[in-house]
Amino acid sequence: MEMEKYLQKIVQISLSSTPEDMLKTSLEICIEISQGSSGSILGEEGPYLQFLFSEVPELIGVRVPFDSIAGSAMTKNLVIYTHAPSDKRHFDGIDKQLKKATNYLLSIPIPSIHSAKSSGGETKNAGTLQILFDRDVFPDLGVEKGPREFKLGDFKKSGMNNERISNIFIILPLIAFGIEVMRLRQTSYQVIHELKNKMISAGSWIGCLKEDITDKSPDLAEDEGIKEDFTLSENAIREGAEMAKSYLQLTKLYTPNFKTADINAVLKETAASLKALAGEFGIANLAVETNLDKGIGPKELDEEKLKMAFFNLCKNAAEVLREREVENPKIRISSSLKEDGRMEITIGDNGPGMPPEIADNLFIPFKTKKEGGTGLGLTITKKIIDLHAGSISCHTGSGGTEFRMTL
């Protein structure tokens, strides 16, 4: 049952936090169940292994060579138990940096989530898990005279694979998943960031091209077909850049910043921002009603991300009220404390509502029906609510649309 609780904790964190937090928790659990003194998770980074996470914060990001103990475990698919000071492969540069000697070390390869069959050959491991011990936990092996290395299958059959150690193998696939998600996020962020820059650059060059055509051939610049081509090109580039910015915004959500905050203060600021937006939208008669429960006390929240989520819902509602030319447009913002101690936040409008085919796909990326939209706005909103271990639902009809969030 204890192992089941550990696994539930890791899965819960993987759904509501960053992959780095997932690796941190997984490592802490591996150290605890193996009764180690410390530990680290290493993964491949170009020609080196890099500390992706460690009990010692100073080690995160530090690189070690592939001929180290961790590198041997990963590349040769070996479980290695060794007395570090007696092992020539021990990378003592880290010990010198921390001014602390590594004693006994257990290195276990982390299997990749990609199967050999799907990758078309032999699968490389995703990294190495290292558990450090202050004492010799397997004294019968005599590792002070030399390291003991086991093929993975042989190790699982050996006496070393006691209950404490065998439970680590249950966690390894979750660690591999965390490593993969972290890599994908970093890679996608870099690619989309470059794409955004290229889009912005392309928009500038379109402007230069228009100027050149106007200078060299004013009649051609006034041709309706040419003007339409430029408009379509500029819109496509602008929308692409906006989509890239929205995606970058989405990736940043995986690094929450929780602190004690007042949800009502967040909602008041949202209402103030909405009133300012109404003037820009040309709907100065927009009524913004707030009904906030004063009984809600301070909570651990990410204020900035919640402001983003709430304002996005309000902005969408204001756009609908403007486009549909609703008489006496109104947006309601409320908070209330539920019996179980959770908060319920509602944001609603008095618009015409939305058809089922739109309401059913609101939180799915790129399913927007809004002209010029990126399709990520409500996806981002839902992710922010998810990060607070909350829920969001949409209720729509002829009397308007209301979003209900529980935090």
DSSP assignment of 307-365, as one string? HHHHHHHHHHHHHHHHHTT-SS-EEEEEEEE-TTS-EEEEEEE-S----HHHHTTTTST
The pLDDT of residue 120 is 46
CA gap 43, 112 in Å, rounded: 11
CATH of 259-406, one of 1.10.4030.10, 3.40.50.150, 3.30.565.10, 3.40.640.10: 3.30.565.10
Phi and psi, residue 111, nearest 5° = -65, 145
Q: In this structure, what token pair is assigned to residue 178?
A: 């965390």
Q: How many residues does the chain have?
A: 407
Instruction: Count the Cβ atoms, other than its own, within 10 Å of residue 61.
Output: 12
CATH of domain 2-181: 3.30.450.40
The pLDDT of residue 116 is 46
The pLDDT of residue 115 is 54
Contact (Cβ atoms closer than 8 angstroms) between residue 337 and residue 298: no
CA gap 302, 373 in Å, rounded: 26
Helix (H, G, I), strand (E, B) or coil at 15: helix
* pLDDT tens for the 407 residues of the chain, in order: 577 888 888 777 776 667 788 888 999 999 999 999 889 999 887 778 888 888 777 788 888 888 889 999 999 999 999 998 888 888 665 656 655 677 899 999 998 887 544 444 456 788 999 999 989 988 888 888 889 999 888 887 777 777 778 889 889 988 988 888 877 777 776 677 777 788 888 888 888 888 888 888 888 888 888 888 888 888 888 877 777 776 666 666 656 678 999 999 999 999 999 998 888 888 889 999 999 999 999 999 989 889 989 998 999 999 989 988 999 999 999 999 998 889 999 999 999 998 877 777 787 665 555 554 555 678 888 888 888 888 999 999 888 999 999 99
The pLDDT of residue 188 is 72
The pLDDT of residue 406 is 94
The pLDDT of residue 329 is 94
**Cβ-based neighbours of 113, under 8 Å, separated by 6 or more:** 126, 173, 176, 177, 180
Q: In this structure, what token pair is assigned to residue 218?
A: 């004013």
Q: What are the sequence ranges of the domains in the chain?
A: 2-181, 187-252, 259-406
pTM, two decimal places: 0.55
Contact (Cβ atoms closer than 8 angstroms) between residue 179 and residue 112: no
> Nearest CA to 291 among 330, 342, 258, 326?
330
Residue given tokens 């607070």 in the structure block: 388
Helix count (H) and strand count (E) of the chain?
A: 13, 14
CA gap 400, 287 in Å, rounded: 14
